[in-house]
Amino acid sequence: MRILTGKVVSHKLPKMAVVAVERMVIHPIYLKRYCRLKKYHVHDEIGVKVGETVKFVACKPISKFKKWRIVK
């Protein structure tokens, strides 16, 4: 079971939130660190607000884009 942590960036639709996960990557040649950002569509039963940090896990597909659900 995959658990990710990210920040809520959008909560416009009911029971859905967009969560951005930021990770640091090292360039293979130049060895410089830089940030990578990916957004996930997450099923939200709790009712989170924009700016909160949440943990979410993979689950069976709920809709076309939602394959994650919020735990905390």
The domains of the chain are located at 3-70
Average pLDDT, the chain: 95
Give the architecture-level CATH label for domain 3-70: Beta Barrel (2.40)
Report yes or no on whether pTM surpasses 0.85.
yes
The answer to whether 62 and 45 are in contact (CB under 8 A) is no
The distance in angstroms from the start CA to the end CA of the chain is 15
Q: Per-residue pLDDT tens, the chain, 72 aa: give them.
A: 799 999 999 999 999 999 999 999 999 999 999 999 999 999 999 999 999 999 999 999 999 999 999 998
State the pLDDT at residue 9: 97
The DSSP code for 1 is -
State the pLDDT at residue 1: 75
